[in-house]
Chains A and B, each alone.
Chain A
Amino acid sequence: MFKRISALVLVGVTTLAMAGCSGSGGSGGSSDGKIVMGFAQVGAESGWRTANTKSVQESAKSAGVELKFSDAQQKQENQIKAIRSYIQQKVDVIAFSPVVESGWDTVLNEARNAKIPVILTDRAVDSQDKSLYKTFLGSDFVEEGKKAGQWLVDQYKDGTDQVNIVQLEGTTGSAPANDRKEGFEQVVSADPRFKVIASQTGDFTRAKGKEVMEAFLKANPKIDVLYAHNDDMALGAIEAIEGAGKVPGKDIKIISVDAVHDGMQALADGKISFIVECSPLLGPQLMDLAKKVVKGEQVPDRVVTEETTFTQEQAKDALPGRKY
């Protein structure tokens, strides 16, 4: 019951805040020719996400797009309510990163009925009906998982011993967690030496990453590799590994995804072994797509962001120029 009440109040507060934002624009909409975009962010659960938020906000400003921003605090119900309020305000385009993959058909249908185009960013939805959204801009998480797995296979190509892997998964049910796990397993499962001995969600946060890793270390005496679905969980796990008297990066190799600043620092310091980049700087591409979609131009239904991978050496070179 507390949750419901809190959700209600949240919505109330968000709506008030939004009303405040759009005060000058009257009924919202593009009265002054400016595109109005409603953006429903997942939350601020990691450094990656905040960099993503910043990129969207800054590129909206420079592209002359009026941005209505909401933070769902990792709750799907908050996000659905935010999208509904954007529909009521008649924004020109709605963009959002779904908290979880499923359960979006109803609200996306409402947006379609209101003739507001929807762009998915960063995370996909598992709807059968692809016409519910215009395009999906984001990374290919399965590919990221494959890259992580490939590096591991290359590292151990000469050995014959079993390689014990523990996995820190992202938020259960989220696209990056599902896909990074799937991509990794596709590559790694080809060789029976690789064995995922424990896998648990760390909710993409440092605190949970540390707590879960502590338990893994106690329950599994021999861990060779940690595969974390994001840098923050890896950073938490590093503390747990150090607390257990082991050397992260040496005793336990760590593979992670994202390449946020703190993660890159740990990579350069030799604590993380390998990072697959997942760029949060989607803002400029998103604004381009939004303008095209509003004009009614055809856009490809899948746009992949450009990304790379980093070894420890590459991290040392790349670190000074990193934006996030």
Chain B
Amino acid sequence: MTAPSPAPASGSASASPGRRLLGHRLFWPAVILVALLLINPVFTDGFFRVELKDGHLYGSLIDIVRFGAPLILVALGMTLVIATRGIDLSVGSVVAISGALACLRISDLGDQNSAGGVLAAAGVALALSVALGAWNGLLVAGVGVQPIIATLILMVAGRGLAQLITDGQIITVNSAPYKLIGGGYWLTLPFGIVIVLAVLALTAFLTRRLALGLLIESVGGNAEASRLAGIGARGVILTVYTFCALCAGIAGLMISSNVSSADGNNAGLWIELDAILAVVIGGTPLSGGRFSLGGTVLGALIIQTLTTTIYSIGVPPETTLLFKALVVTVVCLVQSPAFRAKVFHRRRRPAGASPVAEEKVGVSA
């Protein structure tokens, strides 16, 4: 995948390549994703076919990344927040607010197709998202409110704000430039994916090439110790919540752009839970201190693949949720090192792996 794989903490040099692969933290998420994808061709002919239609790529796989793009974005922001041992429940509301504000501004434009007007509208929406994120960050870092409570405020109030912006209506816009963000194509690629790749690359650079990632992990590991070590923990926390809201804001633009309308009540509904799930499936622990961007991307793709699979193989609507719950349970169990250790207990360990390496593998998976 496009995952910027941080140095995997896999076994020592003497471990076999297979062992090292098994121990890689992205191994199990990748296996699950491939397994889910492989269910589809059984029910749908040509599931993996990707063709060029009207000058853009077209196929089920493209759909998965296209509809998964907003979730990947939200989950990326969530990953960093969770890495500081926080959580952001307000992302769904920020999604709704950002889409609503952008659509409202565009619907007021004289010429909805003017690129400048659309950029300005998107800019205003993202600025508001950043402000909302900073508010969350202030509550958590400045006032010291527990993250789950601090962001709960905006989660509940934010939906009301979104409905206030849309006046309870669904705002329909008819703007080609706005349509591009979430529903358009650029060089045959869905534009949403281009945005995701850009944000992912930027995040990976900031956190893995610069020291920011280390600071985030240290704050998540032990905020007090980090402070004593001279790390501005408050600044770091403020930054991650702001970044998380920015990601949610972009996702909001994408979701509303995809259907050319803003729906204050339904846009991004429960996306915070999907995002948290994606982060957890990706191997970032809720206890903070470590994170895996690549894992999160895989986690989000797993969730979207599951959704698309349900539509394609024709699971009856009445059993959809049960089916999802079962798959997610299995996924989480397979992901759990403790569970794997129990189930595969009797398997012989390769002679080369030292106990130390073994332990490291367990922790990082």
Contacts and interface: CB of A to CB of B under 8 A. Distances in A.
B261 A206 contact: yes
B170 A244 contact: no
A71 B312 CA distance: 33
A149 B86 CA distance: 52
A46 B267 CA distance: 12
B172 interface: yes
A318 B89 CA distance: 44
Contacts of B67: 211, 214
A50 B166 CA distance: 11
Given A44-B265, A207-B267, A215 B169 contact: no
B114 interface: no
Interface string A240-268: 00011100000000000000001000000
A73 B316 CA distance: 24
Interface stretch (B8-16, B51-59, B118-126, B351-359): B51-59
Contacts of A43: 265
Contacts of A212: 311
Interface residues of B, number: 48
A203 interface: yes
Contacts of A303: none
A146 to B, nearest CB: 21
A185 interface: no
A5 B150 CA distance: 13
A239 B311 contact: no
Contact of A73 (B46, B59, B148, B159): B159
B152 interface: yes
Interface string A260-295: 001000000000000000000000000000000000
A167 to B, nearest CB: 10
Interface residues of A, number: 44
Interface centre among B46, B156, B307, by most chain A C-beta atoms within 10 angstroms, is B156
Interface string B154-198: 011101000100001110100000000001000000000000000
B287 interface: no
B42 to A, nearest CB: 12
Contacts of A198: 314
Interface string B38-69: 00000111110000011000111001000100
B259 interface: yes
A45 B259 contact: no
Given A10-B156, A218-B47, A207 B320 contact: no
A71 B266 CA distance: 13
A218 B312 contact: yes
Nearest to A198: B314
Contact of B260 (A71, A239, A243): A239
25 contacts: A5-B152, A6-B156, A13-B156, A45-B265, A46-B170, A47-B169, A50-B169, A53-B168, A172-B320, A200-B320, A201-B320, A203-B266, A207-B267, A211-B67, A212-B311, A214-B67, A215-B60, A215-B312, A219-B313, A219-B314, A235-B261, A239-B183, A239-B260, A244-B58, A245-B54
Given A5-B148, A211-B307, 20 more contacts: A6-B152, A44-B163, A44-B169, A45-B263, A46-B170, A73-B159, A73-B265, A173-B318, A198-B314, A201-B317, A205-B263, A206-B263, A212-B311, A214-B63, A215-B312, A218-B44, A218-B47, A218-B63, A243-B183, A262-B172
